[in-house]
Amino acid sequence: MDLYRLTATEATELFRRKELSPVDLLESVIARTEATEPAINAVTEQWVDEARAAAVVSEARFAAGDQVRALEGIPLMLKDEQPIAGRLLEDGCLLEQGNIADETHPIVERIQAAGAVIHGRTTTPEYCCAPVTHSKLWGITRNPWNPDFTPGGSSGGAGAVLAAGSTVLATGSDIGGSIRIPASFCGVVGFKPPFGRVPGMAPFNSDTYCADGPMGRSVADVAMLQNVISGPWVGDAASLREVAAVSGEVRPLRGIRIALCLDLGGYDVDPAVEANTRAVAAALTFAGAIVDEVELPWGYERVAEAAWPHFGAVMGPFIESIVDGDPDRAAQLMPYTRAFAAKAAGGGDYVEGLVAESAFYRPFAELMTGYDVLICPTIATTGLAADEPCTDSSDVFSKLMTLPFNVIGRVPVLAVPSGIAPNGVPTGVQIVGRTYDDATVFRVGAALEQELALWTDPAWWPAL
C-alpha cells in the first residue's frame, strides 16, 4: 500500500516500531498533493519547508525513544477558516484577499503542541456559506471520486484531500453539516462535536449550531484528533470543563439499541442512499445491536422553521457587516453568499425560532429514552455538481439531512461512509447520540467500520 494511504493510527504504530519515518510519510503526501491538485484544487497554500523541519524533529523523537506527543509526525491539513497569527485568513472571499490573522485558533495551537506535521490548508466556499466548495478567490474544488461532482462543503477541501491521499488528518467545522457533507461525498469519516466540546472563537463559539471538529480516514483517527482538540479553553466561556475522551476501539454491540430513521420525517431520499443505509442497519444487527426502524415528525419544513430565524440572527448579520451597505462590495461576493444572506434576512423572529428549536428537540429526546443512537442518511441525494450555484438556499438545504442536528446542537454526530452510488460518489450515514454522549457514537462507528469493511479496504479509495 502507498504510504499516503496509511491511517494516522497505522502510521503511529509504524513510527513506534521504527519501521517508518515521519519524513518518508510526509514526502509521500507532498508528492501525492502535487499529483492530485491539478485535478481537485483543494489546497489553498502549502508549508513544505516548515513541515519537513517538523517531520525531522518527530523522526528524532521516535529514534531516540523520547516521549512522543499524541499526533507526533502525522501529516495534517487545516481548514482555511481556522486562523493562524501571521498567516493569510481570506475566507475564500475576494474582499479578504491578503488579510493576515492576528490570533491563532485554539484547536490549531493544540494540534501544533501535539506534534502534528501541518503542511497546508484546505479550501472552503466563501465564508463557509455553501455545501459545495467553489469561490472567485480559489476556483472550483472537485471530488476525487468523480471530478464532475463537488466534494461537499464547507469543509470540502478537507474531505477531498483525505480521499485523494494528500494528507492523513484534517480539520473541519460544521454549522449546518459542513463536516458531515464532505465526509459523505468523499467517503471519509468526520465528527460534529456537541456544542461546547471543542473550543471556538468569537462570535461563533457562542453559536449552538457551530462546532470545529476532526476528519480522517478511520474512526480511530478521528477519535485521536478529537481527543487533542477537545476540552476547556480560557478564551471560550462556552467550552465545557468536562473532558470526554473517545476511542476507536472495536467492542461488541450486544445490548446497544439503535433507532433507524430513513427520511427524518419527510426528506426525499434517493433509492441508492436508502439501500446503502439499510445495508448499514443490517451490518449493525449482525454486529449484535438491536435495530428498530422508527419515525420522527420532522421533515425539512420543520427544520427550516427553526433554522432560518437562527441564521438570520447570526450568519446573516455577519455577512451584512462585511458588505456594510456598499453595493460594490456586495457585487464581489459569491451569488450563493448573497442568496444565503437574503434568505437569512427574511428568516423570521428569533424568539419564535428559539421556541421552534425547543419543540423540534422534544420528539428526538423522547425517542432516545429507548435508544442509544439514531442512524440516518447524511445527505438525501447522491451528489451535487462541482459548480452547483447553490443560490436556491431552500432547495439545497432540503437535500441536507445534517441541519436537524445543528438545530439540536448539543448532540454528537459521527459521519461515516455507507457505500457508493451509481455515479461513483460515496454515500454516508450519521450516527447521532444523546446529548453529550460522544463515547457511544464512536463505539457504534468503530463496530460498523469493522463489520462493513468498506473504507478499511485499500481498494476503497478513488483511483485518481
Q: Would you write out the chain's pLDDT as a tens digit for each of its 464 residues?
A: 799 999 999 999 999 999 999 999 999 999 999 999 999 999 999 999 999 999 999 999 999 988 899 999 999 999 999 999 999 999 999 999 999 999 999 999 999 999 999 999 999 999 999 999 999 999 999 999 999 999 999 999 999 999 999 999 999 999 999 999 999 999 999 999 999 999 999 999 999 999 999 999 999 999 999 999 999 999 999 999 999 999 999 999 999 999 999 999 999 999 999 999 999 999 999 999 999 999 999 999 999 999 999 999 988 888 888 988 899 999 999 999 999 999 998 989 999 999 999 999 999 999 999 999 999 999 999 999 999 999 998 888 899 999 999 999 999 999 999 999 999 999 999 999 999 999 999 999 999 999 999 999 999 999 88
Phi and psi at residue 323, to the nearest 5°: -75, -40
In a domain, 321, yes or no: no
In a domain, 323, yes or no: no
In a domain, 313, yes or no: no
Q: How many helices (DSSP H) and strands (DSSP E) are in the chain?
A: 16, 13
Q: Per the structure block, which three cell numbers stand in for 411?
A: 448532540
In a domain, 234, yes or no: yes
Q: How far apart are CA 147 and CA 424, in angstroms?
A: 10
Which residue range forms the structural domain that includes residue 136? Answer: 3-301+350-460
What's the confidence (pLDDT) of residue 393?
83
In a domain, 314, yes or no: no
Torsion sign over Cα 197, 203, 206, 210: negative
Q: Per the structure block, which three cell numbers stand in for 118?
A: 501541518
SS3 assignment for 299-343: CHHHHHHHHHHHHHHCHHHHHHHHHCCCHHHHHHCCHHHHHHHHH
Q: How far apart are CA 405 and CA 373, in angstroms?
A: 13
Q: What ranges in 119-189 are assigned the alpha helix state H?
A: 156-164, 180-186
What's the confidence (pLDDT) of residue 317?
86
Q: What is the CATH number of the domain that holds 220?
A: 3.90.1300.10
Q: What ranges in 3-47 are assigned the alpha helix state H?
A: 8-16, 22-40
What's the confidence (pLDDT) of residue 324?
86
How buried is 317 (Cβ within 10 angstroms: 0-12 exposed, 13-18 middle, 19+ buried)?
A: middle
Q: Are 335 and 132 in contact (CB under 8 A)?
A: no
What's the confidence (pLDDT) of residue 464?
86
In a domain, 451, yes or no: yes
Q: Are 428 and 180 in contact (CB under 8 A)?
A: yes
In a domain, 308, yes or no: no
In a domain, 337, yes or no: no
How many domains are contained in the chain? 1
Nearest to 174 by CA among 8, 407, 339: 407
Phi and psi at residue 12, to the nearest 5°: -60, -40
Q: Cell match 478521528: residue?
A: 222
Q: Give the Å distances, CA to CA, from 82 to 90, 156, 158, 262, 361.
A: 10, 14, 12, 34, 30
What are the strands, taking DSSP E only, across 39-183? 43-46, 75-79, 117-122, 134-135, 139-140, 169-174
